[in-house]
């Protein structure tokens, strides 16, 4: 049973705008009443979380984090996340590492990180989102 009670927003952090667009479509197909935001690199994603953390209701509940990106990649994001995001915000976020990489080292590193709660292989689908959301959130809908 998950400790997360509700899901009201998802932040997609991926430098591929078409992936963000497709992932938004997949999430919308689940017919959940949630806000979907996107950032094109780890720095934008961190800035979004820190800015929204001040407005409690707007904080994303789930972060879908791509591993390979310019500016700040997924691992750089996680380092900044650990150092800069207050503990009370981290306790409200589910971070899912998303990658095309099938590198076992990446998977092991993700599993060893206490803030990464899941790992998903691209390409993602509506079924992938349904499983991830169902696994981490206690929703009353039919997800």
For residue 15, the domain's CATH number is 3.40.50.2300
pLDDT tens digits for the chain (143 residues)?
345 567 889 999 999 999 999 999 999 999 888 899 999 999 999 999 998 876 765 678 899 999 999 999 999 999 999 999 999 889 889 999 998 888 899 999 999 999 999 999 998 999 999 999 999 987 654 44
Q: Under 8 Å CB-to-CB from 110, ≥6 apart: which residues? A: 97, 116, 119
Give pTM, 2 decimals: 0.90
Domain annotation covers residue 53: yes
Domain annotation covers residue 141: no
Q: Which residue has the tokens 């990180």?
A: 113
Domain annotation covers residue 1: no
State the residue range of the domain holding 21: 9-136
Q: Under 8 Å CB-to-CB from 13, ≥6 apart: which residues? A: 38, 39, 40, 41, 42, 44, 45, 63, 64, 65, 66, 69, 74, 77
DSSP bridge partners of 13: 39, 65
Q: Are 136 and 118 a contacting pair, CB within 8 Å?
A: yes
> How many structural domains compose the chain?
1
Domain annotation covers residue 2: no
């Amino acid at each position: 049973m998950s400790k997360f009670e509700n899901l009201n927003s998802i932040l997609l952090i991926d430098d591929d705008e078409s992936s963000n667009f497709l992932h938004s479509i997949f999430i919308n197909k689940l017919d959940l009443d949630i806000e979907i935001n996107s950032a094109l690199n780890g720095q934008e994603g961190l800035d979004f979380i820190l800015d929204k953390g001040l407005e409690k209701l707007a904080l994303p509940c789930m972060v879908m984090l791509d591993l390979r990106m310019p500016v700040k990649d997924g691992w750089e994001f996680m380092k900044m996340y650990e150092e800069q995001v207050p503990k009370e915000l981290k306790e409200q976020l589910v971070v899912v590492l998303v990658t095309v990489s099938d590198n076992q080292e990446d998977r092991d590193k993700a599993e060893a990180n206490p803030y990464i709660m899941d790992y998903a292989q691209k390409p993602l689908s509506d079924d992938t989102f349904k499983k991830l959301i169902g696994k981490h959130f206690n929703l009353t809908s039919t997800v």
